[in-house]
Structure 1
Amino acid sequence: MDFDLAGQPEIVQQAWGYGLQGWDLAKGWLLSPEAWSQFGLLLLAWFIAKLVNRKLQPVLTRWLTPPEGHLGLLSKARHFLRQFLPLLLPVLAYAFTGAGEAVVRSIFDSGAVIALGKRLFLFLAVRILVRDIITDPLFKMLGKFVLVPVAGLYVLGVLDLVQLRLAETIVPLGNLSFSVLSLIQFIIVGGIIFWMGRWSKDQSAALIHKNEDMRPATRQLAEKAAEIAIFGVAFLVFMNIMGIDLSTLAVLTGALGVGIGFGLQKIASNFISGVILLLEGQATVGDYVELDGGEAGTIIKMTARAAILESFDGRWIVVPNEDFIVTRVVNYSDQGSANRFEAPFSVSYDTDINRVPAIIEAAVSTHPRVLDAPYPPDCELRGFGESGVDFAVEFWVNGLDDGPNKFTSDVLFLIWNALKDNGIEIPYPHRVVELKADAAALAGQGVAPSAAGA
């Protein structure tokens, strides 16, 4: 098959040359006893691997399946290893093929076909790993678009050639230039390192949250410090692996400083305010706070820039951290300290008011959430109203009188029942109306002048 390709592009000529080499290699394999023997060994290795895999899979599955309810370190390790069982078949085939390759090379001094088979089994293992085992989105994407293509090139024996071409392809970017291979390595290494940083951050946060002896504010601060330290180390490791001189970051640092000075003042201020809040612990996750601007709610999350409040009606309010520093903040929770509330009521003027405090204090004390410390329920005389004598009972509880808790409502029910049980009347407004008019005019209308009360 001779064709004149002198007028064709260089890439066409190279492709034709590779095609001729492949055809000559295929003809050599088809007509060679050594090649047929290697094909036979490949089939034998695959058959033996399938038999061994069929016997080992049930045994390994039982051994690597932890008992129900066991969550220890050993159980987690067994569960982790069990997910790699789909790789057993191609790995066994690769191992048996390697043993056969040693025999073939000792007899025929050739092993190209069986070496191709080994690479093919390795490709199958990589494909199973990416398709069935890897679940993390980042690693799955890297496996699909990087690892599987690299394994395919390795099977075809052109991986070194492709690497050379990628290294020779230079991408100019202003005063900088880099190869396509360096860019691919940059993306892969950066993704892996920062994924490991995120995983380390999640593990450290879980460990910190298990320490219940620490105040919530201290736990938040420790978590943020660990996050900054982990990603800082990850960044330095990434720059070192990629061979980037850290002194080149001086210009970037200077530009960032100028940006903070002009456009990022609020962001920097909120970040520093967040650190101060975590250090001082004046407001942290779980506290119910009210700001001067009218924002009120329970802090459910504190970020580097703002705190997120959840109001009792379910709305989320994002409040910049700076507002907690420069404005007056009322913290109703203060990490479990008690809060005082009061319930007002009135009794009739016909009541012996000296009996009321003892009756009401005893009734309110029966509420399971009302505290005896710092003070027990205290019923006080507040004044003499138009319709009755005004009282109020003060009581202390752990929590807020809204949302899931209805302390004042419960106490008012207790007051009502206690007053009814003791025959004490709760007054309602009374008014006295006097009608004054000319007696003759009223007599002419058939109405007698009088004073009526209502």
Structure 2
Amino acid sequence: MEFDLSAQPEIVQQMAEYALIGWELAKSWVLSPAAWSQFALLIVAYLLAVVAARRLRGVLTRVITPAPDAESSLAKVRRTVLLGLPLLLPLLAYGFTAIGESVVRSLFDSGAVIAFGKRLFMFLAVRTLVGEIITDPLLKLLGRYALLPIAALYTVGLLDPLMVKLNAMTVSLGNISFSVMSLVRGAIAGGILFWLGGWSTRQTSQFIEAQKDMRPSLRQLMAKVIEFAIFAIAFLLLLNIMGINLSALAVIGGAIGVGLGFGLQKIASNFISGVILLIEGQATVGDFVELDGGESGQIVKMTARAAILETFDGRWIVVPNEDFITTRVVNYSDSGSANRYEAPFSVSYDTDINAVPAIIEAAVATHPDVLDVPYPPDCELRGFGGSGIDFAVEFWVNGLDDGPNKYTSDVLFLVWNALKDNGIEIPYPHRVVEFKGTPPEMAK
């Protein structure tokens, strides 16, 4: 049966041509004894793979499965290997089919059917990989919309003709020219490379953070440098994979340089300031800082452009890195140094003030967070007020007197209880009123 498709679009004519070739191939397979023997070998290879996979899966599961509480690197590798066990069936079928293909070609000098079956088993392996093993969202997206279609085209033998056509189609962008195939290859390779870059960055950061002997700022600096290096290498590899000549990017690099010189000065300044902060370590993640502009909080994150401060009331403040270099910054933490606070109080004029310091210092020293080093609690006489004698007790603690810590409040409770226990009166406000002339008569 013949159809006149001369009036149809070219793509319809090509599809009809491929369909006709497939039909002729199918007829040749159905009528050929060699093809039937190859079909039989495919069925035998698949059944053998089912039996072997079933036995191997149970044995490998028992051997590879680590202890439930094991957290070593080897245990993590073994758990990763266990995730790949669903690939046993299609890969074993592929291997048995490859052995059968060599036998068939030696007997019949033909192996088209069994070669197709081998490609089909490879497609099933790819589908299992994408559907059951890959869990990362980006890799799953690439597998679903790139790897599976490529495997399907390879299975039916259309991958090579499609690659030839895509290589013939070119796209020009200024003085840069590349093929459509380069774009497709770059999109796939770019997704994989940048995923690998993100994964390696996370692993490197975890390793660096575990080195507690290094300063926190140095750990962050090393993590940032390695992150930039990894993604720079990934970008250069991507350009190489796409076939783009690096010398063609000179114009783009010049334009970026001009942009940095004029419009991106602040960004460049903040980036360089961030590097200086990480090198010097004057402010790092975990420090509580107060800037000249009044911003204060704990540094929870330092990026290439700014530092993020978290206040004790839960607000985040984004402070450009340049502000840490060009303005005055008070660092209350500075790698965990102690801070001094004081709690003021008053006693009655009837009190023996010589006994007060010893009583208060002993009471404040019982607080579990009050330090003896660099100085123990110190009670000082501050002055003679209008209603009582003014004292203040100074004490040192590790941390800040805010947020989860209420050191001054705790110390004032201790002062109150110590004064009560020793019969020392805390005065009420007094006022002396002087009358001129005849005083008013008191009511009886």
Say whether the fold is shared (TM-score over 0.5): yes
Q: Distance in 1 between matches of 2:323 and 2:173?
A: 43
Aligned to 1:392: 392
Residue type of the alignment partner of 2:80: F
| Residues 1:200 and 2:200 aligned together | yes
| Deviation of 1:7 (Å) | 4.1
Residues 284 and 299 in structure 1, CA contact (< 8 A), matched pair in contact too: yes
CA distance in structure 1 between the aligned counterparts of 2:171 and 2:233, rounded to whole angstroms: 29
The structural deviation recorded for 1:193 is 2.1
- Alignment correspondent of 1:358: 358
Aligned pairs, how many? 444
Match of residue 231 from structure 1: 231
- Asked if residue 221 in structure 1 is aligned to residue 208 in structure 2, the reply is no
Deviation at 1:309, TM superposition (A): 0.5
Per the TM alignment, residue 277 of structure 1 is displaced from its structure 2 partner at its CA by: 1.0
Structure 2 SS opposite 1:286: coil
Show the 5 A alignment for 1:371-410. Answer: 371-410=371-410
Following the alignment from structure 1 to structure 2, what is the Cα–Cα distance between the partners of residues 248 and 90? 45
Structure 1 segment 98-113 matched on structure 2, within 5 A: 98-113=98-113
- Post-superposition offset of 1:412: 0.7
Q: Please state how far the C-alpha of 1:24 moved relative to its aligned partner.
A: 1.9
Residues 64-143 of structure 1 mapped to structure 2, 5 A cutoff: 64-143=64-143
* 3-state DSSP of counterpart to 2:35: helix
1:411 shift after superposition: 0.8
CA deviation after TM superposition for structure 1 residue 270, in Å: 0.8
Q: Deviations over 1:76-103 (max 9, x none)?
A: 2211111110000011111111222222
Aligned to 1:295: 295
Give the counterpart letter for 1:139 in structure 2. Answer: L
Distance in 2, Cα, partners of 1:448 & 1:380: 43
Match of 1:280 in 2: 280
Secondary structure at the residue paired with 2:433?
Answer: strand
- Where do 1:148-167 residues align within 5 Å? 148-167=148-167
Aligned partner of 2:63 in structure 1 is 63
Q: Deviations over 1:339-384 (max 9, x none)?
A: 0000000000001111111111111111111111111111111010
Cα distance change on mapping 1:438 and 1:408 into 2, 3 Å: closer
1:167–1:179 Cα contact (<8 Å) kept: yes
Is the 8 Å Cα contact of residues 435 and 449 (structure 1) preserved in structure 2? Answer: no
Identify if the C-alpha distance between structure 1 residues 122 and 435 changes in structure 2 by more than 3 Å, giving closer, same or farther: same
Shift in CA distance, 242/170, structure 1 to aligned 2, threshold 3 Å: closer
CA distance in 2, matches of 1:385, 1:398: 32
1:13 Cα deviation (Å)? 3.4
Q: How far did 1:6 drift? A: 4.0
CA drift of 1:18 comes to 2.6
Amino acid at match of 1:211: Q
Q: Distance in 2 between matches of 1:6 and 1:379?
A: 105
Equivalent position of 1:35 in the other structure: 35
Structure 2 residue aligned with 1:346: 346
Q: Please name the residue that 2:191 is paired with.
A: 191
Structure 1 letter corresponding to 2:345? F
Give the distance between the partners of 1:287 and 1:163, measured in 2 at CA: 56
How far apart, CA to CA, are the structure 2 residues paired with 1:6 and 1:207? 66
Measured in 2, the distance between the counterparts of 1:89 and 1:157 equals 23
Residue 175 of structure 1: how far off its partner (Å): 4.6
Tell me the TM-score normalized by structure 1.
0.93
1:337–1:8 CA distance, 2 compared to 1 (3 A): closer
Task: Tell me by how many angstroms 1:449 deviates.
Answer: 9.1
Q: Is the 8 A contact 2:175 2:248 kept in 1?
A: no
- Separation in 1, partners of 2:316, 2:9: 64
Between the aligned partners of 1:159 and 1:241, the Cα distance in structure 2 is: 19
The 2-side partners of 1:403 and 1:6 are apart by: 81
Quick one: which amino acid aligns to residue 371 of structure 2? L
Q: Residue by residue, what CA displacement relative to the aligned partner does 1:131-177 show, whole Å, maximum 9, x if unpaired? A: 11112222212211111111111111111111111111223444543
1:414 aligns with: 414
Deviation for aligned residue 1:12: 3.5
Cα shift at 1:422: 1.0
Separation in structure 1 between the aligned mates of residue 219 and residue 205 of structure 2, nearest angstrom? 9
Partner of 2:263: 263
- Which protein is bigger by CA-based radius of gyration? 1
Distance in 1 (alpha carbons) for counterparts of 2:175 and 2:49: 55
Aligned to 2:324: 324
- What is the alpha-carbon distance in structure 1 between the residues aligned to residue 442 and residue 129 of structure 2? 105
Distance 1:54 1:327 in 2: 69
Paired letter, 1:165: K
- Three-state SS of the structure 2 residue aligned to 1:433 is coil
The question of whether the paired residues in 2 share the 8 Å contact of 1:289 and 1:296 is answered with yes
Amino acid at match of 2:161: L
Of 361-370 and 23-32, the range deviating more from structure 2: 23-32
TM-score between both structures, scaled by the size of structure 2: 0.95
Aligned counterpart, 2:47: 47
Q: What is the RMSD of the two structures over their aligned residues, measured on CA atoms?
A: 1.9
Superposition deviation, residue 436 in structure 1 = 5.5
Q: Deviations over 1:35-72 (max 9, x none)?
A: 22211111111112111112111111111211121122
Is 2:427 the counterpart of 1:431? no
Paired AA for residue 164 in structure 1: V
Amino acid at match of 1:81: V
Name the SS for the 2:253 alignment partner: helix
Q: Distance in 1 between matches of 2:442 and 2:365?
A: 55
The one-letter amino acid paired with 1:416 is W
CA spacing shift, 1:269–1:378, aligned 2, 3 Å: same
Cα pair distance change 1:188/1:166, threshold 3 Å: same
- Identity fraction in percent: 69
Asked if the contact 1:123/1:151 (under 8 Å) is kept, the reply is yes
User: Conserved in 2, the CA contact under 8 Å of 1:216 and 1:285?
Assistant: yes
